[in-house]
Amino acid sequence: MFNKAVKNKAKLRLGIVGSAGSGKSYSSLLIAKGIGGKIAVIDTENGSANLYAKLCDYDVCTIKPPYTVQKYLQAIEFAEEEGYDTIIIDSLSHAWAGEGGLLDQQGKIADSGKNSFAAWRNITPQHNKLIEIILNSSCHIIATMRAKTDYVMQENDKGKQMPVKVGLAPVQREGMDYEFTVVFDIASNHTAVTSKDRTSLFDGQIFIPSEKTGQDLLKWLEDGVDEPKITDKQIEQLESLKADKIALAKHYKIKSIKDLTQEQASQAIEAKQNKLDKMKETEASNRMLEGE
Question: pLDDT tens across 233-279, in order?
Answer: 999 998 998 888 888 887 787 888 888 888 888 888 988 888 888 88
Phi and psi angles of residue 168, each rounded to the nearest 5 degrees, phi first: -110, -135
Convert the pLDDT of each residue in 126-161 to its tens digit: 999 999 999 989 999 999 999 876 666 777 777 777
Please report, rounded to a whole number, the percentage of residues in the chain having pLDDT higher than 70: 96
Per-residue confidence (pLDDT) for residue 252, from 0 to 100: 80
| Least trusted range by pLDDT, from 16-20, 84-88, 165-169 | 165-169
Convert the pLDDT of each residue in 54-111 to its tens digit: 999 999 999 999 999 999 999 999 999 899 999 999 999 999 999 999 999 999 888 8
Of 78, 110, 102, 94, nearest in space to 43 by CA: 94
2 pLDDT exceeds 80? yes
Question: Average pLDDT for residues 205-214, to the nearest whole number?
Answer: 98
Question: Average pLDDT for residues 180-189, to the nearest whole number?
Answer: 94
pLDDT band per the 50, 70, 90 thresholds, residue 6: confident
Superfamily grouping for domain 13-222:
P-loop containing nucleotide triphosphate hydrolases (3.40.50.300)
165 pLDDT exceeds 70? no
